[in-house]
Chain A
Amino acid sequence: MAEFTKVTTVDKLPPGRGASVRIGATDVAVFNVGGVFHAIDGVCPHQGGLLGLGRLSGCVVKCPEHGMRFDVTTGTSPGAPPGGGLACKVFEVKVEGDDVMVSV
Chain B
Amino acid sequence: MYFTDDSLLPENQDPLIITAAPYGPMWLPEDYPTDIDVSWDAQVQKAVDCYNAGATVLHIHVRDPQTGKISKNFNEYNDQIGRLRNAVPKMVLQVGGSISFAPPADGEMAQWQGYDTRHMLTEINPKPDQITVAVGTSQWDITSISSLQDWPDRMANEQTMWAFANMSVDALPDFYIEHLKRLKTAGIQPYFALGHIHGLEIVERLIRRGQYMGPVNGFFSMGGGGTCGVNPFDWMELVRRTPQGSIWTYQTMFRHSYPLAAMMIALGQHTRAGIEENLWDTTPGKRLTSVQMIEKHVRMAKELGRPVATAEEAREIMKLGVTYNSTEETLLALGLPPNRPAGERGFITYPDTTGKVASAYRAGSDGHALAGEY
Task: Kindly state whether residue B361 has any CB partner on chain A within 8 Å.
Answer: no
State which of B25, B104, B159, B162 has its C-beta within 8 Å of the C-beta of A48: B25
Contact A65 B100 (CB under 8 A): yes
Residue total for A at the interface (Cβ-Cβ under 8 A)? 43
Task: Kindly state whether residue A77 has any CB partner on chain B within 8 Å.
Answer: yes
State which of A17, A27, A49, A83 has its C-beta within 8 Å of the C-beta of B158: A83
Main secondary structure of the interface of B (DSSP, over half): loop
Contact B158 A67 (CB under 8 A): no
Collect the chain A residues with CB atoms within 8 Å of residue B72's CB: 27, 43, 48, 50
Residue total for B at the interface (Cβ-Cβ under 8 A)? 40
Contact B103 A20 (CB under 8 A): yes
The 8 A CB mask of A1-36 against B (1 = contact, 0 = none) is 000011110001100010111111101000000000
Task: Kindly state whether residue B352 has any CB partner on chain A within 8 Å.
Answer: no
Task: Kindly state whether residue B196 has any CB partner on chain A within 8 Å.
Answer: no
Collect the chain B residues with CB atoms within 8 Å of residue A87's CB: 159
Task: Kindly state whether residue B109 has any CB partner on chain A within 8 Å.
Answer: yes
B298 to chain A, nearest CB (A): 28
Q: Which residue of A lies closest to B28 (CB)?
A: A45
A77 CA to B108 CA, complexed, in Å: 27
The 8 A CB mask of B107-137 against A (1 = contact, 0 = none) is 1111110000110000000000000000000
Task: Kindly state whether residue A97 has any CB partner on chain B within 8 Å.
Answer: no
B75 to chain A, nearest CB (A): 13
Q: Which residue of B lies closest to A21 (CB)?
A: B109
A50 CA to B170 CA, complexed, in Å: 14
A90 CA to B104 CA, complexed, in Å: 22
Task: Kindly state whether residue B8 has any CB partner on chain A within 8 Å.
Answer: no
Task: Kindly state whether residue B333 has any CB partner on chain A within 8 Å.
Answer: no
Collect the chain B residues with CB atoms within 8 Å of residue A42's CB: 102
Contact B111 A77 (CB under 8 A): no
Task: Kindly state whether residue B69 has any CB partner on chain A within 8 Å.
Answer: yes
The 8 A CB mask of B186-198 against A (1 = contact, 0 = none) is 0000000000000
A27 CA to B112 CA, complexed, in Å: 15
Contact A20 to B159, CB < 8 A, known contacts A27-B72, A66-B169: no
Chain A interfacial positions (CB closer than 8 Å to B):
5-8, 12-13, 17, 19-25, 27, 42-43, 45-50, 52-53, 63-69, 76-77, 79-87
List 6 A-B pairs, minimum CB-CB distance, nearest first: A85-B159, A48-B70, A77-B163, A86-B160, A67-B168, A47-B25
Supplied contacts A13-B109, A50-B72, A53-B100, 14 more A-B pairs, CB within 8 Å? A5-B106, A23-B106, A45-B163, A49-B98, A49-B100, A50-B101, A65-B170, A67-B166, A67-B167, A67-B168, A76-B159, A86-B157, A86-B160, A86-B163
Can you show 16 pairs from A to B with CB atoms below 8 A apart? Answer: A13-B111, A19-B109, A21-B107, A22-B102, A25-B67, A43-B72, A45-B163, A48-B70, A50-B100, A50-B110, A50-B117, A53-B117, A64-B118, A65-B98, A65-B170, A82-B159
